[in-house]
Structure 1
């Protein structure tokens, strides 16, 4: 029963609405946009976004290093161009001056503190709300990335690698979202024309 339900992933139009919800009227739209891009494009968990340090971004090689992950290892991920541009815009134009090495710091005093994991959850939840999406949990962005990978021909092993799952079994739920693959193995319903 652990794999009985389908993962809650966003459709492409919903992704667009979430990304477009970061308007200049918000207090920190560039920070919020960068946070959502990290979760959507790299499948980062909120705790991983919270722990990012400036030194974890290698602009020269286009990589992002995750330290102290859920699997207790260090991972080096490729930094997609849209995600890198979102981070750059936040760092150049919106990040407060601070000696704190955390990528995401508070926009209200005290500025020398990183944003909390709860604040990251709230940024994502509020973006879903502004986009009119009722299932506004941060994990839906990881599910969206995984479903996109599977539906574009990626294997379950690739999904496990991208999402940094320790066990391949954790990623098996995404096999049900591979519509093209399921059509090939589906049997006709009993009593229906083949």
Structure 2
């Protein structure tokens, strides 16, 4: 019969394995040494207090350790160890700060949101915080959720968004729209208030979407040197945005298995219109993706195409895609953003006499109205400055 390891033995092995994992994944020596020091103190703390294994990696234990040791930054090392052990199935859950549970319907929506959306921890926390504030507002004003009115929702948003910039206000409106739409779909609300949650940006929709002109496209592609892993990754992202019009979120979700190099096509399984798409990959796009995989993508078991350039290696987020593309555009002297590539792709399709319906499907729009808004441009300007025979 195999003797069960003591807490001290399990912790010693866990720390040793974790430090070896850090070294093998390219962490700086200074970081590994600092973590080793902190985790040594942590081990002594656990052993001296005879803390049982199932309580070692809890928020309260971490808080007590920080208070006694005075190591305010100790949480990085201890949380990192807990995440490693959780991924190895050696503990039930990593250390997480306890959150105040919301009423059942809110928690049910959050569970649905986590299940169907590929979101970061920050997005989840922001969503929970917004719904907590909305629930508190309803309670404070004695409003029952299923009888809420649009003017009450507007009043909440006016108060909640008072001190935030326009972009942040838009994020919080979007979070609430998602929740209200889900409530209507599940017949908790009789009316769908989501389309009524609008802000100032909506009134600018009559302005034509911005796109890149041929000379700007040339400048952008000529500036892509591809000498570093980051530059190779960015070049592949730009090609996917320009040549097949993918959104930053769609680019971030591409898996290695989605790319069929022999067939020169890519599968996009999850689009806004819920229809999976198979799109042809032009030669330049194929070459950019292949160059990144061979020369810039870190060695990892993760099947996502685009991976962070620094350890710990993990899939990039949509915001990283937008930021990298915008950075490359700025380097090329362009005052533009990632979505301009998508707009330009749509305009190219239109000029090539592709039908609105086909453009809608290729863009992954859920309605023809969205496509029409994308293509709300001045035709004369299009003919003069956007297309020429030598364009990419």
Unaligned runs of 5+ in 1: 183-194
5 Å matches for 1:37-56? Answer: 37-56=239-258
Give the structure 2 partner of residue 101 of structure 1: 303
Larger Rg over CA atoms: 2
Q: Determine if the alignment matches structure 1 residue 70 to structure 2 residue 244.
A: no
**Which range is displaced more, 22-31 or 95-104?**
22-31
1:172 CA displacement: 1.4
Query: 1:48-102 deviations in whole A, cap 9, x for unaligned?
Result: 0111000001112111011222222321111111111110111111111111101
Measured in 1, the distance between the counterparts of 2:351 and 2:216 equals 17
Deviations 1:114-164 (A, max 9, x none): 112111111111012112222x22111110111122223333233222212
TM-score by length of 2: 0.43
1-structure distance, mates of 2:254, 2:227: 26
The residue that corresponds to 1:138 in the other structure is 338
Shift of 1:11: 0.1
Alignment equivalent of 1:158, drawn from 349, 354, 358: 358
Structure 1 residues 129 and 71, CA gap change in structure 2 (3 angstroms): same
Stretch moving more, 45-54 or 165-174: 165-174
Question: Contact 1:151–1:177 (CA<8 Å) still a contact in 2?
Answer: no
Change (3 A) 1:106 1:151: same
1:1-194 alignment runs, 5 A limit? 4-24=206-226, 28-111=230-313, 113-134=314-335, 136-173=336-373, 174=375, 176-179=377-380
Report the Cα distance in structure 1 between the residues aligned to 2:280 and 2:272, rounded to whole angstroms.
19
Distance 1:49-1:181 versus aligned 2 partners, 3 A rule: closer
Number of matched pairs: 180
Verify the 8 A CA contact 1:156 1:175 in the aligned structure 2: no
Which structure dedicates a bigger proportion of its chain to helix?
2
Q: Taking CA–CA contacts closer than 8 Å with sequence separation of 6 or more, which of the two structures ends up with the larger relative contact order?
A: 1
TM-score (norm 1): 0.84
| More moved, 10-19 vs 26-35 | 26-35
